[in-house]
Amino acid sequence: MVIEVLQKVDWTEKHILVACSGGVDSMVLLQGLLAIGLKPDVMHVNYGLRGAESDADEELVVDVARANGVNVQVFHCPVELTKQSGINLQAAARTFRRKHFQQWIAQSPNHVVVLAHHANDQVETFFLQLYRGSGTFGLGGMHPERGQLIRPFLETKKTDLIAYAIENKVQWREDK
């Protein structure tokens, strides 16, 4: 199923950057793109919030990328961005990531960032937006393609991604 979903996207002339955390979703995305013959660049952000576990996530992503001959960029988020009093950790992390996505995208109209958000994330986003009192735009959720951001798995369940990972021996790390 993963391969079929990825083959539906027109990857022609796209220079791909995969945002890869080391979790099952993004590792399946990376391995799936490789399986259909693409050589994406990989970006990993180490927020350093979980100490040795964060470093192990980084190590896995770097090792898999290098083993597959793809470029990998690792960014370390400054502690002051995520650990200040009163800061919204999720918002700060998202801002840090997006800055690097925008730098990638700005290089060329062919540069795209591919994200591993899936159907379960879409449902979570809907309820978060509903709770926040969002209007119809926010309740519409994430889009499969918006500008130079691509989310091919938005209609794919996480259980399907896990099944693909197990069947294809994709390595990933769980964020405890």
Cβ-contact 9, 41 below 8 angstroms: no
Q: What pLDDT does 3 receive?
A: 96
How far from 91 is each of 6, 26, 48, CA to CA, in Å?
Answer: 29, 20, 16
Instruction: Estimate the share of the chain in helix, then strand, then coil, as percent rounded to the nearest 5.
Output: 45, 15, 40
24 phi, psi to nearest 5 deg: -60, -40
* pLDDT mean by block of 10 residues, the chain; 176 residues: 94 96 96 98 92 95 98 90 72 87 94 86 54 54 83 93 96 88
Which residues neighbour 124 within 8 Å (Cβ) at sequence distance 6 or greater? none
